[in-house]
Structure 1
Amino acid sequence: MRQVAITGTRSTGHRSLDAYGDLFMTYLGPFADDAHFFIGGASGIDSMALLWLAGNTAAELTVVVPGTVDQQPADARQAIARARDRIKQVVELKATELGTPAYHARNRWMVDHASMTIGFPHAIEPSTGTWQTLDYTAEQRKPRLIVPV
């Protein structure tokens, strides 16, 4: 079974939900039959990919958060709750402070447990957690698929 980390922008308002559904079908769909996805429990791509995968595939799903689920934004908590019956595991890394280091640790945890990363960076945000995750994936000599949104 392939282990796939998903990373992506929180800035998703520039495309329609249907457009993201098409992107997920094209770039996540081919891996979904035999994959375990590790998804950060944040707003934006994380929540959208979680809901799409839960509703459209039989893939195994693990949600990873830097602190606890209760500390996540309301829309992310709602996505996790909606997909709960499809989530195999929720990993709470229990960071004491939810700053950049905690999010980078979460991203590294997902990459370390995955065999590849699929990233959906916002094209105009070159220095973000998404790119940090994709760069870390490359440093680990693991494949990465980059789908600019």
Structure 2
Amino acid sequence: MPLAAAITGTREIGHRELAWFRDLFGTYLAPWASDDAHFFIGGAKGIDSLSLLWLAGNSKARITVVVPGAVAQQPAEARQAIERCRDRIADVVELGAAELRTPAYHARNRYMVDRAQMVIGFPLTVPEGTSGTWQTLNYAASQGKPRLIVPI
């Protein structure tokens, strides 16, 4: 059975150079990115957009982008990444949340984890925090799903 993985991570990426993330994804995403793999990625800025761009350019894996409301509500950086990768994205799931608040993001995170076999997380800090990244990783743990945690 092909691997299905959800990717979660911080929006705060300004503390690292883009080349650093390229190398990071080459180390931690590439081993999972077989041609028949399927990745679920949130449509936000930061790790979501960077991992989308990396997977689209460096793998043949299936990509599903999941947003809590609509793509049009996402930050410009995220919309641009989605548009740039449109030909590589298998599905865009718009969950239609009326308000983009914490419950909508948690629903998006659960949607991705529920459809994945594992979660690859790129949290800003360790130890465990209260961010959406950690909420997603903890939800995966509560579901008995493996987690690869790569602090950035």
User: Deviation at 1:127?
Assistant: 1.2
Partners of 2:148 and 2:58 in 1: CA distance:
20
User: Deviation at 1:123?
Assistant: 1.1
2:101 alignment counterpart:
99
1:137 alignment counterpart:
140
The number of residues matched between the two structures is 149
Question: What RMSD over aligned residues (CA atoms) do the two structures have, in Å?
Answer: 0.9
Partners of 1:118 and 1:128 in 2: CA distance:
15
Letter in 2 for 1:13: G
More helix by share: 1
2:19 alignment counterpart:
18
TM-score (norm 2): 0.96
Partners of 1:102 and 1:137 in 2: CA distance:
17
* CA shift digits 1:58-91 (9 cap, x unpaired): 1100000000000000010000000000000000
User: Deviation at 1:138?
Assistant: 0.1
State whether structure 2 residue 57 is matched by structure 1 residue 55: yes
1:41 alignment counterpart:
43
Unaligned runs of 5+ in 1: none
Letter in 2 for 1:15: R
Partners of 1:68 and 1:9 in 2: CA distance:
20
Letter in 2 for 1:23: L
Deviant stretches of 4+, over 4 Å: none
Equivalent residue runs for 1:60-79 within 5 Å = 60-79=62-81
1:8 alignment counterpart:
9
Partners of 1:13 and 1:126 in 2: CA distance:
19
Letter in 2 for 1:2: L
User: Deviation at 1:113?
Assistant: 0.4
Report percent identity of matched pairs. Answer: 68
